[in-house]
């Protein structure tokens, strides 16, 4: 395998998370252990395409092969366009780019059962063809094949960028699903800890026509309902021991309706209950799995919800709760940066998973490579 130094340089990272609220694209300079964000943008989905993604990803029972193939192609075209826009917007030299690390768009994540699988779409061949760049993609399935959850994959990157040997700390990504990387003196523990923004976003879209609850304003109009909150917190996923991972195909509006159990509550009270559910499930996971922790670094869309951030700080009074921005990393692009970093790890022949986080049988080189350029 080539030495890692020979593969240092400029990488792009692309991801659309479980919220499907946009394509995060970033440019990252990787030099040994040094990681520097050169620029990042979130490019919006075409609304009709986003609606199709959400419909299919939220437990759509049946999708034709034709629709699946068309969706895979449409997502790839959108990812390629995002990469090209990023190159233009930040004046990047296309010849200097080593590779694009593309996570794709998750439609299903079912790592348990007799035939476990995880499914991300966004055809890498099409991204390579459109951008004329080398593309590294399909990161999760090798870990699942090795008996792992295929998620979370961010802990290895979080350890590389945020670990402090003098302090136990957590990195908390609040996207559509919330996930934790617990960093300390021992092995890194990482897992999905609850619903993140996904339920709040879906409920806000249904009742306000907005894709997310800006600054928690909708939740602020209501009060958490004790009975609903108790039912939400009794969800058996929360009690499972890591390694574990979840997705929008678990935490969706149909699931929420079963928790409401026919009760009619004011929409704002449901939203307030969902915000509290997210905050409490995160706090409980931290207290259970890292009781000695003293700092929580937050990234993802949830960092912009000041009401959610305030609730986390109140529930974790012994810890410093802050954005990754306080450590020099833009919280909106930590995940996209992860897949740029993983692209280099794959090209270098190094494992990208932490088996203590995913449960895989051992370290694995993740993903596959689609060559760029034209012969």
Task: For residue range 126-136, list pLDDT tens digits in order.
Answer: 999 999 999 99
Are 253 and 205 contained in the same domain?
Answer: yes
pLDDT-flagged residues of the chain (< 50): 1-5
Are 168 and 304 contained in the same domain?
Answer: yes
The two structure tokens encoding residue 172: 């908390």
Are 325 and 365 contained in the same domain?
Answer: no
Are 197 and 251 contained in the same domain?
Answer: yes
34/161 Cα distance (integer angstroms): 8
Q: Is 54 a member of any domain?
A: yes
Residue that has been written with the tokens 């894709």 in this structure: 211
Q: Is 196 a member of any domain?
A: yes
Evaluate if pTM is beyond 0.75: yes
CA atoms within 13 A on the CB side of 57: 29
In tens, the pLDDT along 230-248 reads 999 999 999 999 999 988 7
Number of domains in the chain: 2
Q: Residue 249: CB partners within 8 Å, gap ≥ 6?
A: 57, 58, 59, 108, 109, 110
pLDDT score for 160:
94
CA atoms within 13 A on the CB side of 190: 28
In tens, the pLDDT along 308-350 reads 999 999 999 999 999 999 999 999 999 999 999 999 999 999 9
| Angle ∠(23,130,38) on CA atoms, nearest 5 | 50
C-beta of residue 92 within 8 angstroms of C-beta of residue 127: no
The domain spanning residue 257 has which CATH number? Answer: 3.30.420.40
Q: Is 375 a member of any domain?
A: no
C-beta of residue 124 within 8 angstroms of C-beta of residue 102: yes
Are 158 and 270 contained in the same domain?
Answer: yes
Q: Is 245 a member of any domain?
A: yes
The 3-class SS string of the chain reads CCCHHHHCEEEEEEEECCCCCCEEEEEEEEECCEEEEEEEEEECCCHHHHHHHHHHHCCCCCCCHHHHHHHHHHHHHHHHHHHHHHHHHCCCCHHHEEEEEEEEEEEEEECCCCCCEEEEECCHHHHHHHHCCCEEECCHHHHHHCCCCCCCCHHHHHHHHHCECCECEEEEEECCCEEEEEECCCCCEEEEEECCCHHHHHHHHHHHCCCCCHHHHHHHCCCCCHHHHHHHHCCHHHHCCCCCCCCCCCCCHHHHHHHHCCCCCCHHHHHHHHHHHHHHHHHHHHHHHCCCCCEEEEECHHHHCHHHHHHHHHHCCCCEEEEHHHHCCCHHHHHHHHHHHHHHHHHCCCCCCCHHHHCCCCCCCCCEEECCCCC
C-beta of residue 137 within 8 angstroms of C-beta of residue 101: yes
- Closest by Cα among 299, 346, 340 to 102: 340
Sign of the torsion angle spanned by Cα atoms 59, 64, 70, 72:
positive
pLDDT score for 19:
81
Are 272 and 353 contained in the same domain?
Answer: no
- Closest by Cα among 202, 188, 199 to 154: 188
Q: Is 227 a member of any domain?
A: yes
- Report the Cα–Cα distance between both ends of the chain, in Å, rounded: 24
76/87 Cα distance (integer angstroms): 17
Are 355 and 281 contained in the same domain?
Answer: no
Are 174 and 100 contained in the same domain?
Answer: no
Q: Is 43 a member of any domain?
A: yes
Are 325 and 339 contained in the same domain?
Answer: no
Are 115 and 254 contained in the same domain?
Answer: no
Q: Is 166 a member of any domain?
A: yes
Are 303 and 347 contained in the same domain?
Answer: no
Q: Is 134 a member of any domain?
A: yes
Residue that has been written with the tokens 């080189």 in this structure: 365
93/345 Cα distance (integer angstroms): 22
Are 162 and 288 contained in the same domain?
Answer: yes
C-beta of residue 194 within 8 angstroms of C-beta of residue 281: yes
Name the residue range of residue 189's domain.
154-331
């Amino acid at each position: 395998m080539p030495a890692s130094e020979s593969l240092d340089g400029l990488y792009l990272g692309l991801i659309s998370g479980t919220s499907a609220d946009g394509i995060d694209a970033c440019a990252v300079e990787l030099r040994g252990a040094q990681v520097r964000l050169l620029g990042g943008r979130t490019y919006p989905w075409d609304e009709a395409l986003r609606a199709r993604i959400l419909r299919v990803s939220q437990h759509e029972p049946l999708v034709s092969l034709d629709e699946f193939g068309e969706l895979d192609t449409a997502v790839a075209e959108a990812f390629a366009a995002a990469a090209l826009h990023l190159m233009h917007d930040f004046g990047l030299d296309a010849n200097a780019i080593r590779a694009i690390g593309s996570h794709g768009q998750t439609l299903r994540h079912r790592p348990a059962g007799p035939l476990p699988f995880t499914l991300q779409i966004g055809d890498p061949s099409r991204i390579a063809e459109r951008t004329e760049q080398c593309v590294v993609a399909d990161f999760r399935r090798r870990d699942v094949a090795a008996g792992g959850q295929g998620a979370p994959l961010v802990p290895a990157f979080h350890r590389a960028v945020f670990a402090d040997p003098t302090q136990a700390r957590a990195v908390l990504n609040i996207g559509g699903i919330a996930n934790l990387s617990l960093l300390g003196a021992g092995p890194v523990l990482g897992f999905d800890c609850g619903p993140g923004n996904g339920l709040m976003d879906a409920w806000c879209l249904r009742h306000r026509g907005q894709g997310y609850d800006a600054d928690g304003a909708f939740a602020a109009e209501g009060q958490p309902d004790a009975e609903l909150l108790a039912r939400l917190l009794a969800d058996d996923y929360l009690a499972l021991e890591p390694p574990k991972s979840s997705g929008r195909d678990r935490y969706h509006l149909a699931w929420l309706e079963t928790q409401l159990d026919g009760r009619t509550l004011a929409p704002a009270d449901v939203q307030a209950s969902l915000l509290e559910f997210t905050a409490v499930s995160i706090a409980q996971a931290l207290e259970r799995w890292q009781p000695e922790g003293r700092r929580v670094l937050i990234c993802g869309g949830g960092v912009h919800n000041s009401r959610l951030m305030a609730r986390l700080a109140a529930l974790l009074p012994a810890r410093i709760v802050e954005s990754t921005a306080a450590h020099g990393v833009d919280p909106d692009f930590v995940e996209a940066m992860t897949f740029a970093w993983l692209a280099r790890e794959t090209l270098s022949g190094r494992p990208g998973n932490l088996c203590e986080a995913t449960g895989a049988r051992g370290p694995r080189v993740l993903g596959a490579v689609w060559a760029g350029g034209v012969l």
